[in-house]
Amino acid sequence: MLHYLLTLAIFFAFFAVEAWGLNLQFGLTGILDFTYITFVAIGAYFAGVAAMTPSTNGGMGGSYIFGWQLPFPLSPVIGGIAAAMLGVVVGIIGLRRLRSDYLAIVTVSVGQIVWMVIGNATPLFNGWDGIVGVPQPYNSVMNLSTNNYEWPFLGISVIVAAIIFWLVRSLTESPYGRILRAIREDENVAAALGKNVFRYRMSAFVIGAFIAGISGALQIEYIGAWNPSGWTTLETFIVWAAMLVGGRGNNRGMLLGAFLVPVLFTEATRWITIPAHPLLMEAIRGMAIGLLMVLAVRFRPQGVIPERKRVFPLTTIPGLKEDVANGHTAQG
């Protein structure tokens, strides 16, 4: 039972990080990224092969590139950078045009292409079979059993999640974040006020992709394996559901969304099986998430924890203290 709860806690960190990245892209900036999971996957693959021992080509681990045996903080950084670089490519293709439906189509297409290429080009990441045997961070020195290793890995996940939370929070609550929200509302107004809309959308998109890659890196270094059946449209759909249910634009809402959708609805129900119909539970799960999303959009379009209203206390404003003290401007 403890083992099970620890696993759920670790998954919670993975999905919270995922949701923060998508929230930066869509929740804050309004960028429709329908292939978010591709960035997670690229991060996972590159972190995996950066951490693994060199491929013996056709041996036990299959064939793959790199094999640099990099230690923990470096391998996820490689994963994050790889995902960010794919973000730059997709952004150059899709973000030049201002219409958001155009980018949405580009993301779907790129996702399909990347998926097919990785599946078919076996020398890259061992094709459809995927890569296995990714070492767990520092476990070669700690030598813990799978069960005992969960504590240190939870620690690692929480630290990474805390760093990412600091990152997205700092970005959101800054003039930079305000410009992203302005672009989401009306890019023409932002441009008329001197904001380079393409550059901002590009940077939010790429940072979001980087965060996705970091989450993927954490996932592969915990699970130890990764293959194309693990990142399909359904996985993108689950992050989107988490973001919309939690409350787009709100980083705390992402925590709630990540807990409700991927953890509670997806991972926590893994033990429920219907032996006579092994695929039925999977289908029910998909429908339940779909229903949750429809209900959220219908009854709480802003999500369970909506975007926070920024209020500026008058006492912080220079030259206003006297007015406030005399009560002249206190109402409104």
Partner 1 sequence: MAIPLRDNMLVVKDLRKSFGGVKAVDGVSFDVPRGTITGLIGPNGAGKSTVVNSLSGFHGVDGGSVMFDGTDITNWPSHKVAQRGLIRTFQLARELRSLTVFENMLLASNDQPGQTSWQALFLRKKIRDSERDLLGKAVDLLKRFNLFHVRDEYAGNLSGGQKKLLDLARALMADPRLMLLDEPMAGVNPTLAGQLQEHIRDLKDEKGITFLLIEHNLRIVESLCNHVVVMAEGTILAEGNMSALRENENVVRAYLGG
Nearest Cα to Cα of residue 181 among 36, 308, 27, 19: 27
> Site map for partner 1, 200-239, x if CB under 8 A?
---x---x--------------------------------
Q: Would you say 80 and 217 are in contact if contact means Cβ atoms under 8 Å apart?
A: yes
List Cβ neighbours of 45 (8 Å cut-off, separation of 6 or more).
Answer: 79, 82, 118, 124, 125, 131, 216, 220, 226
Residue placing its CB nearer to partner 1 in the complex, 181 or 285 = 181
Q: Is 65 exposed, middle or buried (0-12, 13-18, 19+ CB in 10 A)?
A: middle
Residue 320 as a binder of partner 1 (CB under 8 A): the answer is yes
Positions 34 through 53 that interact with partner 1 (CB under 8 A):
none
Q: Residues near 136 by Cβ (< 8 Å), separated by ≥ 6?
A: 149, 153, 221, 222, 224
- For partner 1, which residue of 1, 60, 141, 192 counts as binding (CB under 8 A)? 192
Nearer to partner 1, 298 or 310 (CB): 310
- Smaller CB separation from partner 1, 106 or 190: 190
Q: Is residue 111 near partner 1 by the rule CB under 8 A?
A: no
Using rule CB under 8 A, residue 299 touches partner 1: no
| Span from 14-22, 112-120, 255-263, 314-322 in contact with partner 1 (CB under 8 A) | 314-322
Query: Which candidate, 100, 125, 331, 311, places its Cα nearest to that of 204?
Result: 100
CB–CB of 237/37 below 8 Å? no
Q: Which is nearer to partner 1, 147 or 323 (CB)?
A: 323
Contact between 77 and partner 1 by CB under 8 A: the answer reads no
Per CB under 8 A, 95 contacts partner 1: no
Query: Is residue 25 part of the contact set for partner 1 (CB under 8 A)?
Result: no
Span of 38-46, 128-136, 178-186, 289-297 interacting with partner 1 by CB under 8 A: 178-186
81 near partner 1 (CB under 8 A): no
DSSP secondary structure of 256-292? HHHIIIIIIIIITTTT---TT-TTHHHHHHHHHHHHH
Of 85-93, 124-132, 151-159, 171-179, the window that binds partner 1 (rule: CB under 8 A) is 171-179
- The residue (of 42 and 248) whose beta carbon lies closer to partner 1 is 248
Distance CA 34, CA 44 (A): 18
- 128 CB neighbour count, 10 Å cutoff: 12
Query: How many alpha carbons fall within 13 Å on the CB side of residue 149?
Result: 16
**Is residue 185 near partner 1 by the rule CB under 8 A?**
yes
Residue 86, SS3? helix
Q: Does 329 bind partner 1 (CB under 8 A)?
A: yes
Q: How many residues bind partner 1 (CB under 8 A)?
A: 38
Which residues lie closer than 8 Å to 250 by C-beta, 6 or more apart?
Answer: 23, 27, 303, 305, 306, 307, 308
Contacting partner 1 (CB under 8 A), which of 42, 171, 241, 243? 171
Q: By the criterion CB under 8 A, which residues form the site for partner 1?
A: 167, 170-171, 174-179, 181-182, 185-186, 188-197, 203, 207, 307, 309-312, 316-320, 329, 331-332
